[in-house]
């Protein structure tokens, strides 16, 4: 982080010791940061709630409110801030218990008194780098999702408006969905719209073309395998269901799935669990399955396929 970036970064120093408070704030301002101060935990919470704070440096032992209690309140979802400030904790006690508790409550780092100011500066810089990275990840997720918003799917006819209405209804559902249509009609675009407009949007979207993978490999690709399950299985392989855990698995060309795999897929859909090749027991997965086909599945069924 260069000095220009630091000048746009708001820090808050919370300490009931005025001498330590002044030392910390002056040291951080010398590095180019904008710094506010608070003389205790309650004042610190009020300043954070006023908004604009990127990172808090706080002592633990304060008379009006313990620094860890303040940390817990800052990091609590009930605080209303979906992107709360990062926190570096300073403690004079140096106990493993205090440090562990601070990290459990959401602190990014802790510094033990006595400390060199460079140690604090490194901790602050590291926490702010993490904040920047998270913001960039959030931005990229929005960029990825943008093409799959409804307004970016072309189609103004009445049938397409019916499709959009159905996507909106299904986006908030956990129901598995089968998308049918001729090749080139945008079935995967609909699947991605369902995912990126759903509560699972921040989780993986994994697409598998069932027609493009040889039948002999498709089972291990979908369900994974354990080391030693077959000759070339030198390590565990998670499989696409596990890769999509928490998110959405899109099975394109589902009409080409071999019958023996259809039974295994049915179990996953019904029981929400799968058994990798060579595994002794099944494992739970939380996956929404979207499928697509250009085949006439009723005809395929009548043919025994």
pLDDT digits (tens, 9 = 90+) for 7-21: 888 999 999 999 999
Supply the pLDDT for residue 232: 76
pLDDT above 50 for 79: no
CA–CA–CA angle 76, 78, 83 (5° rounding): 65
Position 293 scores a pLDDT of 95
Taking the C-alpha atoms of 11, 16, 20 and 21 in order, what is their torsion angle to the nearest 10 degrees?
30
**Residue (of 244, 290, 93) closest to 102 by Cα position:** 93
Sheet holding 288-293, edge to edge: 177-180, 288-293, 248-252, 205-209
* Buried-state track 129-160, b at ≥16 Cβ within 10 A, e below 16: eebeeeeeeeeeeeeebeebeeeebeeeeeee
Model confidence at 216, in pLDDT bands (50, 70, 90)? confident
CB 78 within 8 A of CB 49: no
pLDDT at position 12, please?
95
Instruction: Return the DSSP state at 14.
Output: E
Lowest-pLDDT choice from 13-17, 273-277, 290-294: 273-277
Instruction: Give Cβ neighbours of residue 4 (< 8 Å, ≥ 6 apart).
Output: none
- Is the pLDDT at 60 greater than 90? The verdict is no
- The proportion of the chain whose per-residue pLDDT surpasses 70, expressed as a percent, equals 90
Q: Name which residue leads in pLDDT, 151 or 153.
A: 153
The DSSP element (H or E) to which 164 belongs, if any, is: helix 158-171
3-class SS at 91? strand
pLDDT above 60: residue 114? yes
Decide if 12 contacts 35 (C-beta within 8 A).
Answer: yes
- CA nearest to 203, candidates 151, 145, 260, 153: 145
Q: Indicate the length of the chain as a whole number.
A: 305
Please answer whether residues 63 and 37 qualify as being in contact, where contact means their C-beta atoms are separated by less than 8 angstroms: no
Q: Could you tell me the pLDDT band of residue 234, with boundaries at 50, 70 and 90?
A: confident
- Select the more confidently predicted residue: 138 or 254: 254
**What is the model's pTM?**
0.54
pLDDT at residue 163 in the model: 83
Angstrom distances, CA of residue 13 to CA of 43, 84, 112, 170, 201:
11, 15, 16, 47, 36
Give me the pLDDT at residue 78, please. Answer: 43
Residue that wins the pLDDT comparison between 155 and 190? 190
Q: Mean pLDDT across the stretch 38-55?
A: 90
């Amino acid at each position: 982080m260069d000095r220009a970036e630091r000048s746009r970064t708001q820090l808050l120093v919370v300490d009931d010791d005025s001498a330590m408070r002044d030392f910390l704030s002056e040291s951080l301002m010398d590095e180019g940061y904008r710094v506010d101060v608070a003389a205790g935990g309650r004042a610190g919470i009020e300043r954070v709630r006023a908004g604009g704070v990127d990172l808090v440096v706080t002592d633990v032992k304060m008379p009006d409110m313990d620094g860890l209690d303040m940390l817990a309140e800052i990091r609590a979802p009930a605080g209303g801030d979906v992107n709360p400030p990062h926190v570096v904790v300073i403690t004079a006690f140096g106990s493993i218990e205090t440090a562990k508790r601070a990290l459990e409550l959401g602190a990014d780092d802790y510094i033990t008194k006595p400390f060199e100011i460079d140690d604090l500066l490194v901790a602050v810089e590291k926490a702010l780098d993490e904040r920047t990275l998270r913001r960039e990840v959030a931005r990229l997720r929005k960029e990825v999702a943008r093409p799959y918003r409804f307004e970016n799917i072309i189609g103004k006819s009445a049938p397409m408006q019916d499709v959009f209405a159905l996507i909106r209804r299904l986006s908030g559902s956990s129901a598995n969905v089968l998308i049918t249509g001729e090749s080139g009609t945008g079935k995967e675009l609909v699947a991605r719209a369902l995912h990126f407009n759903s509560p699972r949007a921040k989780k993986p979207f994994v697409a598998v073309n069932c027609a493009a993978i040889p039948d002999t490999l498709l089972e291990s690709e979908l369900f994974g395998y354990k080391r030693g399950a077959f000759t070339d299985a030198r390590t565990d392989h998670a499989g696409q269901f596990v890769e999509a855990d928490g998110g959405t698995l899109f099975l394109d060309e589902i009409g080409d799935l071999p019958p023996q795999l259809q039974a295994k897929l049915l179990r996953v859909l019904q029981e929400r669990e799968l058994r990798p090749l060579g595994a002794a027991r099944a494992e739970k997965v939380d996956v929404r399955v979207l499928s697509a086909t250009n085949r006439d599945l009723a005809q395929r069924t009548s043919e025994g396929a």
